Structure 1
Amino acid sequence: MNRLIAPLVIALSLVLPAHAWGKTGHRVTAEIAQHYLSGSADQAIHGILGPEGIAEAADWADFMRSSPDPFWRSEANPWHYVTIPQGMTYDEITAPTEGNAITALEKFRAIAIDPAAPLEDRQLALRFIVHLVGDLHQPLHAGNGTDRGGNQFICTFFEEMSNLHEVWDEKLIQYEELSYTEWTAWLVQKITSDQLAEWAKARPAEWADESAAIRDTIYPDTQILSWDYVYQARPILKQRLSQGGVRLAAYLNAMFEPEIPVVE
């Protein structure tokens, strides 16, 4: 197997994209958030997105990366992740000049809540916010700066050629053979009131630090992944999807209800 994997490392690392969670995971995070939105936030979101809703909007920022527009091909690309070297926290680094997921979140928050901004700009901003909160909860979107967030860790997943980033984006979620609504129903019923209160207090930098800490534990000792890896990863996967949903709701509630402290 190693003879097969080794020649493909460079080639696959150049062509495989770095998305987060994939379509299903992003929709799960948004649909969980929908359960915890305040009335004011839900109304404000509907005023911006109309019937689209946040679950439908969740994957839009990844879909648009295939657009030939330079904005999507270059300018917006670094906004999907953060880089936190091993042993450091987000507060100890300096954000790159091109920005990252956290600086983009701050930028788009200001646009989304500005009633004077054009509706099209507010829609773009809100779709990005929904997406970026999900991104920050995928452990490999807090990259260590050495392997493009696991994209260069080539592996097989149940005998299918992949890389560690793709395994976490999509394959672990697809393995369960659940729709995003089934995922949401199963996860929401297990979120406790204590977890709601604890998770909602965290700020984006802490979400990124959590992902970086998890990231350092999920690199396997083998390039051949199957049952054992799924067994180890499933509890982490479920928690990060659940936390992402709860925190997205908290972030949106704070945006659209002035009396709620802003999560920064």
Structure 2
Amino acid sequence: MRKFLLLAAAALSLTATSANAWGPTGHRVTAKIAQTYLTPQAQAGISEILGVETLAEASNWPDFMRSADDSFWQKGSPPYHYITVPPGTTYSTGMAPPEGDAVTALAQFTQQIRDESLPMADRQLALRFAAHIIQDLHQPLHNGKGDDRGGNSVRVLFMDEPQNLHWVWDEGLIDNQKLSYTEKAHWLQRRITTAQQVEWTETNPQVWIEESIVMRDKIYAGLGPMAPNTIPNLRYDYIYQHTGDIDLRLQQGGIRLAAYMNELFAE
């Protein structure tokens, strides 16, 4: 009976979980780190568009708006949060579906940010979404294999609670520490060396994607072979093994978000 209840609860959790990279805490952590590395020109450009709204505030807006009763948010924007790269392949924009994906959307929104003839509301949407997408591409499971909804269909237990693999990497590993986003960002940012900042200052999405796919494959390999109707129980050893991985992607995402904005507003 207990096994049946766990399976049922896990199935329910799959339908209730959306594909929001990092969850609210992770998005804010990455944006808070990025804020430290913005140039004065980028800070001024962002403030001109967003006003008093910070990148940390803006970073979760595209996920929040997915509940809006509007065709863009309900049907148009969901594909902009991820890409699909089947095992053994590399990403190219030619792989994007007709509705687009995170990479094609980032290029589109970047152009809208630059276009000063657009209404300010359109440029605000574009800036919020561009920042969000850069963060999404650093979450390994938003670079999906194409066969399990980025891990949303992989049932797991996390600290004995029914969840799915995507949720573990969006929220479980980050929120397990019970830190505020400002605490987590401070802890991670002060450990970034000058050499790492230089090494990670990369604005080419292809590089971010290649890194994410390497880590994605490591995540799946770490589950090991699974017999039918079994659910891995990810506990303290899993947290120990992967906290360094997720911290690295949050740090790199912060550096890349700043670098992208610095390059964009330098133009």
Counterpart of 1:211 in structure 2: which amino acid?
Answer: S
* CA distance in structure 2 between the aligned counterparts of 1:229 and 1:175, rounded to whole angstroms: 12
Question: Do the aligned partners of 1:111 and 1:121 also contact (CA within 8 Å) in 2?
Answer: yes
Equivalent positions of 1:1-264 (< 5 A) are: 3-7=4-8, 10-91=11-92, 94-219=95-220, 220-221=223-224, 223-258=232-267
Structure 1 unaligned blocks of 5 or more: 259-264
Question: Do the aligned partners of 1:84 and 1:93 also contact (CA within 8 Å) in 2?
Answer: no
Alpha-carbon spacing, 1:92–1:116, altered in 2? closer, same or farther (3 Å):
closer
TM-score (norm 2): 0.92
* CA distance in structure 1 between the aligned counterparts of 2:252 and 2:4, rounded to whole angstroms: 39
1:190-210 CA distance string (max 9 Å, x none): 111111111113511221121
RMSD: 1.5
Alpha-carbon spacing, 1:256–1:92, altered in 2? closer, same or farther (3 Å):
closer
Question: Do the aligned partners of 2:113 and 2:126 also contact (CA within 8 Å) in 1?
Answer: yes
Identity within the alignment, % = 48
Moved more, 225-234 or 212-221: 212-221
* CA distance in structure 1 between the aligned counterparts of 2:206 and 2:242, rounded to whole angstroms: 23
Structure 2 unaligned blocks of 5 or more: 225-230
Moved more, 121-130 or 195-204: 195-204
Alpha-carbon spacing, 1:134–1:92, altered in 2? closer, same or farther (3 Å):
closer
Instruction: Report the secondary structure of 2:20's partner residue.
Output: coil
* CA distance in structure 2 between the aligned counterparts of 1:236 and 1:5, rounded to whole angstroms: 28
Question: Do the aligned partners of 1:33 and 1:248 also contact (CA within 8 Å) in 2?
Answer: yes
1:204-223 CA distance string (max 9 Å, x none): 12211211111111121361
1:108-153 CA distance string (max 9 Å, x none): 0000111111100000000001111110011100000010000001
Counterpart of 2:189 in structure 1: which amino acid?
Answer: V
* CA distance in structure 2 between the aligned counterparts of 1:28 and 1:113, rounded to whole angstroms: 26
Question: Do the aligned partners of 1:135 and 1:141 also contact (CA within 8 Å) in 2?
Answer: yes
Moved more, 189-198 or 133-142: 189-198
* CA distance in structure 2 between the aligned counterparts of 1:101 and 1:48, rounded to whole angstroms: 22
Instruction: Report the secondary structure of 2:130's partner residue.
Output: helix
CA deviation after TM superposition for structure 1 residue 249, in Å: 0.3
* CA distance in structure 2 between the aligned counterparts of 1:214 and 1:158, rounded to whole angstroms: 22
